Amino acid sequence: KLSCRAVSFFQLLIAIAGLRDCSVGEGRLEGMSVSQFCLLYNFSFLVRYRALIFPLLIREGKPTPFFTFVLALLFCVYNGYLQGRSLSNYAKYPSGWLKDPCFITGFIGWLIGMAVNIHSDHILRNLRKPGETGYKIPRGGMFEYVSGANFFGEILEWFGFALACCTIESLAFALCTLFILGSRAKQHHQRIVV
């Protein structure tokens, strides 16, 4: 079993390396449109936040099984490569894409989802005082409306990103996020209801 901080750091740090290689390598940045660069930056911003800042903020929780870490690592590496390659090499956007309602709606969804996710994580980190144990029901923010506000925020974030990108790769990531975090949200909700 591994430290949850280390797991969060390493699985996403490696994804950053893959993202960097496929988007910066071979002079790809020079050929990118402003839309491609903006979308790639949005994706890399959140991955960097999750890899470099989030692990410093979280409390050390239950250790992560090694097999779970390996699966998450493989997913993050593949997804980082897929999003980076898609946005830097294959996605083509018209010159006015940043003014398109699809991009604007998706970008706003991404921002709102990110804000909900970060705020919900803050609420969860501060549920217990040092030394306290046991389960506590989170209150405040989106937790007043949904039991898994952190999961809801991340799902909204990546569906917003998918709408802003309009690529099959970003939609696949949003759906994976929905299925993975949706099942975790259901488990957490059942814990509260019982």
Residue type, 14: I
Number of domains, the chain? 2
121 and 46 co-located in one domain:
no
How far does Cα 145 stand from its chain's mean position? 21
Give me the phi and psi of 64, to 5 degrees please. Answer: -95, 130
Q: Mark which of 93, 124, 155 sits at the end of a domain.
A: 93
In eight-state DSSP terms, residue 2 is: B
105 and 162 co-located in one domain:
yes
How far does Cα 80 stand from its chain's mean position? 11
Residue type, 76: C
Residues 80-128: tens digit of each pLDDT: 889 988 988 889 999 899 999 999 999 999 999 999 999 999 998 888 7
Q: Mark which of 59, 93, 127 sits at the end of a domain.
A: 93
Q: Which residues of 145-184 are buried (b: 16+ CB within 10 A; e: fewer)?
A: ebbbbbbbbbbbbbbbbbbbbbbebbbebbeebbeebeee
pTM of this structure: 0.88
Please give the pLDDT value at position 161: 97
* The residue count for the chain: 194
86 and 157 co-located in one domain:
no
Range of the domain at 176: 100-194
76 and 113 co-located in one domain:
no
* Alpha-carbon distances of 59 from 3, 139, 168, rounded to whole Å: 10, 19, 35
Ramachandran bin of 79, using left for φ above 0, alpha for ψ from -120 to 50, beta for the remaining angles: alpha
122 and 85 co-located in one domain:
no
7 and 31 co-located in one domain:
yes
Which segments of the chain have a pLDDT < 70?
18, 20-30, 193-194
Q: Mark which of 58, 93, 128 sits at the end of a domain.
A: 93
